[in-house]
Amino acid sequence: MRHLDWDGYPNARDLGGLPTPDSPTGATIHGRVARGPRRERLTEAGWRDAHDWGLATVVDLRCPDEVGVRDGDPDVPPATRASVPVVLAPTEDQDDPEFRAVCFPILDSPEYWRHNWRILPDLVLGALRAVADAPTGVLVHCSAGRDRTGMISALLLANAGVAPAIVAEDHAASVRAMAGTAIHAPTHDRQASWGPEQVEAWIATTGPVVAEVAADVDGAFATIGVDDVLRDRLRALLTRPC
């Protein structure tokens, strides 16, 4: 199953199990890459669930000042939180003037993704390299597991040959999962107060944006600076059996 039932941890999914002609199994491979929200939400039981899945590395897409336990997070022993290596690979520089001006008003929308890798290609490239370099069993996360994580997940899935409409459906699942939830994001998140009608209207508007990004993954990777070697490594991660 794609849904990952890790205690205390909503919006967690395995990127395996999606149809692609690029895999000999006909689908992306389970147990390679998971996506989710901030790891501080995991309870001690949730960490056990994650280890049972095969968690070996975390790639954290947040900025350094976002990392850490907040009010309302579960009480978990520090040794448990430190039980897997964490690679900090932020996709944003929130002090960059152009990024702030262009992206801050739309940070909860996939409309900002193209701007992110146009303005800060090296940061997005670094995140993709971190995923490629991680041992199998990598959790990619940001705050909600919806926007930054959605961007990286969309690129990974599109590069693995998953159809744009299915990539958009994966993103929509995260929008639905996190609507009405406080996420400790660095900027105000209007979706924290949304109900089902607002969510479905938003998905109808933004789903085509995600699909367009997925359909032009070649152009995205060219702007980011992803070479053929890295691209092949990322594809193999989700498509080639061991």
Residue with tokens 């053929």: 228
- Looking at residue 184, its pLDDT comes to 60
Q: Do residues 166 and 172 touch, judged by C-beta distance below 8 A?
A: no
Q: When comparing pLDDT for 224 and 195, which is higher?
A: 224
Q: Chain-centre distance of CA 178, in angstroms? A: 13
The pTM (predicted TM-score) of the whole model is: 0.96
Q: How many C-beta neighbours within 10 Å does residue 124 have?
A: 29
Domains and CATH numbers, the chain: 13-236 (3.90.190.10)
Q: Chain-centre distance of CA 147, in angstroms? A: 7
Q: How do residues 96-153 score in pLDDT, each as one tens digit?
A: 999 999 999 999 999 999 999 999 999 999 999 999 999 999 999 999 999 999 999 9
- Looking at residue 40, its pLDDT comes to 96
Q: How do residues 153-212 score in pLDDT, each as one tens digit?
A: 999 999 999 999 999 999 999 999 998 777 666 666 788 888 899 999 999 999 999 999
- Looking at residue 180, its pLDDT comes to 79
- Looking at residue 73, its pLDDT comes to 94
